[in-house]
């Protein structure tokens, strides 16, 4: 019986985001809602757009949600790494939150897939 082991690097580690991830991203960042404006700037959203968000929303959480929606819809390739980088900016200073998000969403490491005769190993062995 031959066992062939392939190592597959999950290069992105689930790092890329889409608008379908809005709820997950919003929940991860809700404790930083008071920094929505600075985070928006760190994510590359213009001051003009941020002023429009501020004038149309009622509170920090609503503003954060709108910022994230805008960013996920308009960024070429939004990632958790972008969020982490933004959280670490001196104007945002949410270092512990950045580390928590990094540990949860980015440090997934190497995934191993064991293949025997073309079939994946049971999930408990991966």
What percent of the chain clears pLDDT 70, i.e. is strictly above it? 74
Does residue 23 lie in a domain region?
yes
3-state secondary structure of 121: coil
Burial 91-103 (b: 16+ CB within 10 A, else e): ebebeebbeebbe
Per-residue model confidence as pLDDT tens digits over 45-93: 999 999 999 999 999 999 999 999 999 999 999 999 999 999 999 999 9
The pLDDT assigned to 125 comes to: 46
Structural domain for 20, as ranges: 15-109
Does position 22 have pLDDT exceeding 60, yes or no? yes
Q: For all residues of the chain together, what is the average pLDDT? A: 83
Question: pLDDT grade, residue 15 (50/70/90)?
Answer: confident
Domain holding 59: CATH number?
A: 1.10.533
Q: What is the DSSP letter of 119?
A: E
Does residue 29 lie in a domain region?
yes
The pLDDT assigned to 108 comes to: 57
- Residue 126 near residue 112 (C-beta atoms within 8 A): yes
Does residue 91 lie in a domain region?
yes
Q: For the purposes of burial, counting CB atoms within 10 Å of the CB of 125, is it exposed (0-12), middle (13-18) or buried (19 or more)?
A: exposed
Does residue 45 lie in a domain region?
yes
Does residue 67 lie in a domain region?
yes
pTM: 0.75
Total number of domains constituting the chain: 1
Say which residue the tokens 């408990």 belong to.
124
The pLDDT assigned to 96 comes to: 97
């Amino acid at each position: 019986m031959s066992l062939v082991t392939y190592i597959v690097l999950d290069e992105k580690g689930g790092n890329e985001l889409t608008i379908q991830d809005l709820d997950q991203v919003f929940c991860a960042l809700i404790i930083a809602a008071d920094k929505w404006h600075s985070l928006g700037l760190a994510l590359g959203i213009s001051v003009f757009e941020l002023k429009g968000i501020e004038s149309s929303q009622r509170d920090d959480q609503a503003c954060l949600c709108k910022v994230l929606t805008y960013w996920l819809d308009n960024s070429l390739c939004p990632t958790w790494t972008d969020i982490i980088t933004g959280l670490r900016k001196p104007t945002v200073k949410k270092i512990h939150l950045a580390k928590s998000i990094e540990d949860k969403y980015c440090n997934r490491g190497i995934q191993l897939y064991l293949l025997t005769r073309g079939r994946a190993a049971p999930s408990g062995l991966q």
